[in-house]
Amino acid sequence: MVPEELRKVLATAPLAYLPVGPLEWHGEHLSYGCDPIRAGWLLERLWKDLGGVLLPTLYLGTDGVKRTGDTELWGMELAAGEPLPGGTFLPADVFAAAIKHTLSFLERNGFRLCIVCTGHQAPEQIQAMEKLESESRHRAMRVIAWQSGRVIKANGQPDEIGHAGFEETSELMHIDPALVRMHRAGTAAADRKLGLTADTLSACSADAGRQRLELELQQLKSAVANLCRDIGLKLQTA
Ligand SMILES: [Zn+2]
């Protein structure tokens, strides 16, 4: 994008889409970028429908951390009780500051709404993003801090997805089968400790992933449409 194109978008659809999530161990069978890739898929679809600017994914995230002597365990490492390879996290205050400053530049550039989406469900990540959402209520640019836990299933219950389990595995199968290595499921001790085995994942399918992603997209889209209506922002399509 060049400045002329940015000016045009700001005049017609001042919406920014920001996918955010850490690189994180998701079992032997899933790609590290699972969470930001899911967030990016949702926002790309939304951007194609509603217009605006799709920002490059920020591979940033935070999680719970426990320090014992010289060792630190982060997020799923606490559940596994051992270090897991490949994750990159920021302390919660650093993560919150990185997103806050990025959002304030988007606001300065003239965006009226930014949809920040994370596939990463750690409470520390969600709290930091939701704080930015609530602080935006009195600002020139509103923020929607979307995450999968906001999805309400057909039975009326919130969709609490398990780490690297049925939902995430099925979704990555739909997004890009090359991101999933089912034949590796359960081959590490950490997989077995966390119940990520070929047996427990046998019901996963690209079709189940597509259905879940479409449901989440539909609910995210109506959250965006409602907020746009509240702030008097006309969308080019609905
Ligand atoms: Zn995940």
- Split at pLDDT 50, 70, 90, the class of 42 is very high
CA of 237 to the centre of ligand 1 (A): 31
What whole-number distance in Å separates Cα of residue 193 and Cα of residue 187?
11
Domain 14-229 of CATH type 3.30.420.40: no
Arithmetic mean of pLDDT, 190-215:
96
CA of 1 to the centre of ligand 1 (A): 30
What whole-number distance in Å separates Cα of residue 133 and Cα of residue 232?
18
CA of 209 to the centre of ligand 1 (A): 13
- Split at pLDDT 50, 70, 90, the class of 238 is very low
pLDDT in tens, 49-87: 999 999 999 999 999 999 988 899 999 999 999 999 999
Arithmetic mean of pLDDT, 227-234:
94
Residue 237: what pLDDT? Answer: 60
Helices (H), 194-234: 206-230
The encoded tokens of residue 124 equal 């520390």
CA of 159 to the centre of ligand 1 (A): 14
Q: Report which of residues 141 and 155 the model is more confident about.
A: 141
**What's this model's pTM, rounded to 2 decimal places?**
0.96
Q: What is the DSSP letter of 55?
A: P
**Ligand 1 ion local residues (Cβ < 5 A):** 34-35, 168
What whole-number distance in Å separates Cα of residue 112 and Cα of residue 32?
32
CA of 53 to the centre of ligand 1 (A): 25
CA of 82 to the centre of ligand 1 (A): 18
Domain layout of the chain by residue ranges: 14-229
What whole-number distance in Å separates Cα of residue 154 and Cα of residue 236?
29
pLDDT in tens, 11-37: 999 999 999 999 999 999 999 999 999
- Split at pLDDT 50, 70, 90, the class of 235 is confident
What whole-number distance in Å separates Cα of residue 164 and Cα of residue 98?
26
CA of 32 to the centre of ligand 1 (A): 9
